[in-house]
Amino acid sequence: MSISSPSKVEPDLREDYSTEALANAYNWYNYWQDSAKAKDYTINYLKEIEFSKEKIAAVKRIPENQFINSIGWNARILTLGGSLPDGYQDRMMLKLEKLISSDEPVSADDEIKAETEKVVSVQDRTKEKISNYIALLETELDNNYKDRDYTFNMYEWLSKNEIKPLVARAIADYFIPTYNELIDVLGDGDADLKEGYDHLDKADKIKTLKFLQGIVDDAETFAANVKKATRKPRTPKPKSAEKLAAKVKYKESDDKYKIKSVRPIDIIGSDQLWVFNTKTRYLGIYKSAGPAGLSTKGTKILGYDENESISKKLRKPEKHLGIVSQGTKPQLKKIMDNITAKPKALNGRINSDTVLLRVIKQ
């Protein structure tokens, strides 16, 4: 039974991070990526959580053939804002620490016992950083309570402190419940909730609500903008000649004129393409516009020089078609000049009446 390849769409574990979802993600990364990419993902994640430069340098020194790919897949999932099942993140860091500290290659099948090895949890490290920033912002919130004229630009603060997207999103999540509470207090919230904010008059409540909204909105916007700015654009893989020529529509042969088409794949990268429309009796030549040569997209010829590529109608096709198919390059150069018909510009389209007579490659 044949197994189809996974979709090219990268997994998203922001909502579903069950072990089944994780297994499917591992399958995707194992199929589409390699050890070099796993190592790059890990380094990018460690930079984002501000891991020590010495240990990041140690990770860079790990040979790719000794790297544990699952570490990279986990790192990529976390970098994209996804989550991992309980315990996976800590085990991932234990494996990484062992890779860094060991002189011997570590097998991906090694069982690492968390109870016998102590390493600072990535979650604890991140939580501590978030707590420090939140403490600073709560001071700003206190200033807002005390001074009605107090202003604070959250976006500038995030930029100045070079806050990472993961931390910015966590800050927004922290202040959202308080923001929602104030909305209820100013609306139809329950009496107990309203009582907790009795120390503020309505104007102060509204000002505080706007202050919190600025914190939440700017944190979310900042995280999205930084992510967008740092994400490397994906470089599309160049299509093979087979794929480029796969959808070309043409006439394979014509018994009346005793001619036969060359393979469409031969057009890719060629310097010239000679075509003949058996219905209109137009003979055409496509000349490439540059060193990359001609190409195709669907039923259209690409990369041709619009000024040099022309067609002429043949009164006696048999007189010229044989020369085009079998003649020498010097003979080909004279054919269009010897046809007295008025030249017509080519539009790049070929169809089921078009015979691909010949390609010329430099």
Q: Is residue 236 part of a domain?
A: no
Per-residue pLDDT of the chain (362 residues; tens, 9 = 90+): 333 455 678 888 888 777 778 877 887 888 889 989 999 999 999 998 888 889 899 999 999 888 888 899 999 999 998 888 777 888 888 889 888 886 444 444 444 444 334 455 566 677 778 888 888 888 888 888 788 788 899 999 999 988 888 889 989 988 998 888 888 888 877 777 777 777 778 888 888 889 999 999 999 999 888 877 766 666 666 767 778 788 888 999 999 999 999 999 999 999 999 999 999 999 999 999 988 899 998 889 999 999 999 999 999 898 899 899 888 888 888 999 999 999 999 999 999 999 999 999 87
User: Please, which residues bridge with residue 131 across strands?
Assistant: none
Question: What is the model's pLDDT at position 102?
Answer: 65
The phi, psi pair for 256, rounded to 5°, reads -60, -45
Q: Are residues 79 and 157 in the same domain?
A: no
Question: What is the model's pLDDT at position 2?
Answer: 35
Show which of 86, 119, 152 is a domain's final residue: 119
Provide the domain limits for residue 134.
Answer: 124-230
Length of the chain: 362
Q: Is residue 280 part of a domain?
A: yes
Q: Is residue 113 part of a domain?
A: yes
Q: Are residues 314 and 271 in the same domain?
A: yes
Q: Are residues 300 and 352 in the same domain?
A: yes
**Cβ 295 vs Cβ 244: under 8 Å:** yes
The candidate with the shortest Cα–Cα distance to 46, out of 13, 10, 92, 82, is 92
Mind listing the pLDDT tens digit for each residue in 194-249? 777 777 788 888 888 899 999 999 999 998 888 777 666 666 667 677 787 888 88
Q: Are residues 160 and 226 in the same domain?
A: yes
Q: Is residue 1 part of a domain?
A: no
Q: Are residues 212 and 258 in the same domain?
A: no
Question: What is the model's pLDDT at position 235?
Answer: 62
SS (H, E, C) 60-92: HHCCHHHCCHHHHHHHHHHHCCCCCCCCHHHHH
Question: What is the model's pLDDT at position 157?
Answer: 92
Question: How far apart are the C-alpha atoms of 326 and 214, rounded to whole Å?
Answer: 75
Q: Are residues 144 and 220 in the same domain?
A: yes
Q: Are residues 100 and 156 in the same domain?
A: no
Question: What is the model's pLDDT at position 113?
Answer: 43
Q: Are residues 246 and 355 in the same domain?
A: yes
Q: Is residue 8 part of a domain?
A: no
- Amino acid, res. 360: I
Q: Are residues 215 and 326 in the same domain?
A: no
Q: Is residue 265 part of a domain?
A: yes
Q: Is residue 2 part of a domain?
A: no
Q: What is the number of domains present in the chain? A: 3
Show which of 230, 258, 281 is a domain's final residue: 230
Question: How far apart are the C-alpha atoms of 124 and 120, rounded to whole Å?
Answer: 7
**Cβ 286 vs Cβ 296: under 8 Å:** no
Q: Are residues 184 and 104 in the same domain?
A: no
Q: Are residues 98 and 152 in the same domain?
A: no
Q: Are residues 310 and 271 in the same domain?
A: yes
Show which of 93, 119, 145 is a domain's final residue: 119
The model's pTM is 0.39
Please report, for residues 50, 269, 298, 347, the alpha-carbon distance to residue 288 in angstroms, rounded to integers and kept in the order given. Answer: 51, 9, 18, 14
